Chains A and B, each alone.
Chain A
Amino acid sequence: MNGIPVLSVMTWAPFVSALIIMFFARHRPLLVRWTSLAGAGISLVASVWVYWAYDRAAAGFQFQEEFALVPSMGISYLLAIDGISALMCLLTSIIIFAGVFASWTTTQRSQEFYALLLVLVTGVYGVFTTLDLFILFLFYEIAVLPMYLLIGIWGSSGEVRPQGIFGWAMGRTGVGTKEYAAMKLTLYLLFGSAFILVGILALYVATGSQTFSFLTLESMQFDPTLQRWTFLAFYVGFGILAGIWPLHTWSPDGHASAPTAVSMLHAGVLMKLGAYGFMRLGMGLLPEAAVDWAWLVGTIGCINIVYGALSAMAQTDLKYVIAYSSVSHMGVVMLGLATLTPNGLNGAVFQMFAHGIMTGLFFAIVGLVYEKAHSRAIFQMGGFGTMMPGIATAFTIAGLSSLGLPATAGFVAEFLTFLGAWSSAYQWWLFPAVLGAFLTSVYVLRVAGQIFWGPKSADPHFHDLPDAKGPEWAALGILVFVLVLFGVVPSIAIGPVDTATGPLLMRLVGGQ
């Protein structure tokens, strides 16, 4: 396309700006921020352009770039996107662009912070754009590993500690501290990547054709037994990152401990990486096994929805509420994928996008509230709506999208998924899904009422708090705009996604 390798530009621009930051911006915090913004901005422009220029009529993989890296093993640098990955790239670039604004005030070791953050984003883009499984695995690792330092150094330890025996046990084991959360998250995700690697190698050896290219592997028919086991490996491996129950427990701890931009990126984008990998590799390469295991994936998705929502209700720490709501919403994604219906699949992908934007907005707001009020304890705060009307409005919009109010992106996603669930082979899936949406409205409205719209807190610390300012407005503004835009005009997302889910579904269930 025009001779510009636009996908490479999008993928590597953050990496290049990370290098610039490491080498040229020592002790110049403002330069660090502007360089990060430039890197994220270039990616944003590239991803918007790709999204707009994607030829929906032609469908399939476009903007292909390829050159052989290790010909003897069939490893090549192969980038291309279809409708799903184009939407995911758009999501990534919006979140990181807003994330840079949201963490504008980070001062502690900001040079390393932004460099690691941008390296991580490169990994995320890489996973979404590459079609070579080996390179995909490498990008996946790049996306996972910097998280350890990002949470460990810049994170925050949980403040709302339980009392009694649990408090004692948590104190003894370090549960709730940022070091614990960082280690837990990293080990869980690396545990998952071990599964993924074994799965990829198993497919590679099984083909005997010396290639890691998705396009070649996709045209293969794998032995059913191999499919069953490899599918499980991919399900567990990518599922951990997507937060499937009962392997989700890294997510609340990790997201609650991470600094604002990292929470946004991790809950908003990295969990989608898991769902995307599961969809692309698990369902795309192993269609027969995907149909065989659909009952498992969908049922666990339902457990996720209800369990995550119930856990979110029980939390007293604001950040944990949002973190558990991610677990619940990722259940909707997995459920949508498991329905094996056009509506379900479109809903799942739309939910990935909608939840990404929404949870990014949530975490940005939690970060802002914490910065102003220095508290995350829900029941100590109150009546912030009069002091910070802007933040309160943004939170409410995110909350309404979360519970699926029409005219927000969340509505479209959940509605499509529910339709899919109803027309799937397991109609009862609809009930836990709807129950989850109901529970979500309980905890979201309760939190919004308590903190923002209820009576003012008696604590004098919470009087005279400022509203968002400067760059923080940019972060909130961008995310709210996208959330509403995609809710009102869902076709801008559904159009390209549909071109990719259609052929996938054909492979899964044939012409039935």
Chain B
Amino acid sequence: MLTALAPELALFALAVLVLLIGSLRRTGRGPAGWLTLAGLVATFALTFAVPEGTSLLNGSFVQDGLSLFATRLFLGSAALSVLASMTLRQAAFSRRSAEYHFAVIVSVLGMSVLASARELILLFVGFELMSIPLFLLTGFLKRDAVAPEAALKFFLVGTASSAVIVYGMSFVYGVTGSTSLAGIPAAMAEGHPLMMLGMAFLLAGLGFKIAAFPFHMWAPDTYQAASTPFVAWLSVAPKAAGFVAIIRLFVEGVGAAALIWMPAVAVLAGMTMVTGNLMAIPQQNIKRLLAYSGIAHIGYMLVGLAALSSSGVAMMLFYLVAYTFGNMGAFLVVQAVAQSEQSEGIDAYRGLAQRSPLLALAMLIFLLSLGGIPFVAGFWAKLYVFWAAIERGMYGLVFLGAIVTVVALYYYLLVARRMYIEAPERPEPVPVPGLLGAAIAVCVIGVVGMGLYPAPWVTLAMRVASTLFS
């Protein structure tokens, strides 16, 4: 039992330890950052010791392929974010370092609980445990002009969506008479109208969490105001958590009854892809641009989900990993440039290729991956989700997706054009702090590695997804 709970227990211990050390130390940055990093990496390693397929507390807490896959994604992305955030210059990040890292660890703990929850209440607790630290982290620079506003906005939207989720759960409980997720497939197959209503509420509430259209408005404002290394993680991990919850509620064990949700998810996917990509075009702030492009990527993942097949879910998980590397990498480059230029405008990238060729190349690789160009991860990700959708005969959706992919390339190329074609305003290179450079390098390796040799990741995703359909 303890081995199955080991990652969660380790995270809890780590959180307490970091908070304690922080309260003992009064000056300087302190060891909280390194400690957190080491703890996250150690927990990551620990997940490999957890026996797959264990189930605790009468089946309300499971460690299966999906939960371990998701937990590793959360831990890995958090570690990258922590690595990069140690280079933040503002005084608040060193003075309140323990506070910052405590919040990150607790949030990861919430995600990891959520990924394992097979019960409505535990699922909800996981959500809240994940979300509340995120609100704090968004408004971490509390004397900043925009951060508190963004945090408030995020908080209001987040709690409203939580309320919608709880409301939906109450219907589900009313119909199934149990808080266990095990009752959902049967109730869904019966097609009780209240059950449908409840599930629709759940879909809407989770739509907020993953920032799918029309529930996406909070994302750009929040991203713009929060610190960039944190945003890199915020744009990835909570969305992955939202997708895990969707899979648990709508896909796992449901079988053919889930197909009734296919049109709804397909419409959601199409609208999200179109909105995200079109709204990204006029953006002049790179973080807002990446925020809208991130919304579009959620749409592509929903395409994989809409297939509601084993391969569709697997391809969605693959997409999630590719998106994690590509999107985090892009945000980390944004951090490097913003710190040096004091600007988050896309004009700050003018002539970057001549100033810092390697940084520009890294950004180009991330943008190409996000754009879905061959030889980097994003190509396979898009190919696979489209493939899964074509297997279900959803030609229209795939066609739409293929067209908006070209739209997306337009605004990615606008950034590439500034980096490669336009002349720099200043000749000196952009300084990249060592730790930030290391984090960027990890992302480059991830994106290129997955692009050149996607097979192991595909096999892994397939294996995880297949257990959900047995």
Contact = CB atoms under 8 A, between A and B. Distances in A.
Interface of A: 70, 72, 137-138, 141-142, 145, 148-149, 152-153, 179, 182-183, 186-187, 190-191, 194-195, 197-198, 201-202, 205, 229
Contact of B399 (A141, A152, A182, A198): A198
Contacts of B398: 198, 201
Contacts of B386: 197-198, 201
- 8 closest A-B pairs by beta carbon, nearest first, are A194-B402, A152-B421, A191-B406, A138-B374, A141-B374, A190-B406, A205-B390, A201-B390
A141 B395 CA distance: 22
Nearest to A139: B374
Interface stretch (B99-107, B220-228, B329-337, B409-417): B409-417
A71 to B, nearest CB: 10
A124 B406 CA distance: 21
Given A141-B374, A153-B421, A205-B390, A195 B406 contact: no
Contacts of A194: 402-403, 405-406
Given A194-B402, A202-B395, A149 B420 contact: yes
B390 A152 contact: no
B383 interface: yes
B357 to A, nearest CB: 10
Contacts of A182: 417, 421
Interface of A is mostly: helix
Given A197-B383, A205-B390, A148 B413 contact: yes
Given A186-B413, A197-B386, A201-B387, 5 more contacts: A142-B374, A152-B421, A182-B417, A187-B406, A205-B387
18 contacts: A141-B373, A142-B374, A148-B413, A187-B410, A190-B405, A190-B406, A191-B403, A194-B403, A194-B405, A197-B383, A197-B402, A198-B395, A198-B399, A201-B383, A201-B390, A202-B395, A205-B387, A205-B391
A190 B409 contact: yes
Contacts of A201: 383, 386-387, 390, 398
Contacts of A149: 420-421
A229 B395 CA distance: 11
B406 A153 contact: no
A183 B398 CA distance: 24
Contact of B417 (A141, A179, A190): A179
Tell which of A70, A148, A190 has the most Cβ of chain B within 10 Å.
A190
B421 A70 contact: no
Tell which of A145, A153, A194 has the most Cβ of chain B within 10 Å.
A194
Contacts of B409: 186-187, 190
Interface of B: 373-375, 383, 386-387, 390-391, 395, 398-399, 402-403, 405-406, 409-410, 413, 416-417, 420-421, 455
A72 B421 contact: no
A190 B416 CA distance: 16
A505 B421 CA distance: 46
Contacts of A179: 417, 421
Interface of B is mostly: helix
A183 B417 contact: yes
A174 to B, nearest CB: 11
A202 B398 CA distance: 11
A378 B409 CA distance: 36
B413 A183 contact: yes
Given A191-B406, A198-B399, A153 B420 contact: yes
Contacts of A138: 374-375
Contacts of B403: 191, 194
Contacts of B395: 198, 202, 229
A186 B410 CA distance: 9
B417 A152 contact: yes
Contacts of B383: 197, 201
A276 B402 CA distance: 23
Contacts of A153: 420-421
B390 A202 contact: yes
B455 A72 contact: yes
Contacts of B374: 137-138, 141-142
Contacts of B406: 187, 190-191, 194
A190 B368 CA distance: 13
A197 B399 CA distance: 10
Nearest to A183: B413
A484 B410 CA distance: 43
B384 to A, nearest CB: 10
Given A194-B405, A201-B390, A205-B390, A152 B420 contact: yes
Nearest to B392: A205
Nearest to A134: B383
A153 B417 CA distance: 9
Contacts of A187: 406, 409-410, 413
B28 to A, nearest CB: 43
Contacts of A137: 374
Nearest to A155: B421
B417 to A, nearest CB: 6
A55 to B, nearest CB: 34
B389 to A, nearest CB: 10
A148 B420 CA distance: 10
A12 B374 CA distance: 18
Nearest to A233: B399
Tell which of B375, B383, B410, B417 has the most Cβ of chain A within 10 Å.
B417
A195 B421 CA distance: 28
Contacts of B373: 141, 145
A97 B187 CA distance: 70
Contacts of A202: 390, 395
A260 to B, nearest CB: 19
Nearest to B416: A148
B402 A198 contact: yes
Nearest to A71: B455
A499 B134 CA distance: 68
Contacts of A141: 373-374
A182 B390 CA distance: 32
A49 to B, nearest CB: 30
A23 B236 CA distance: 36
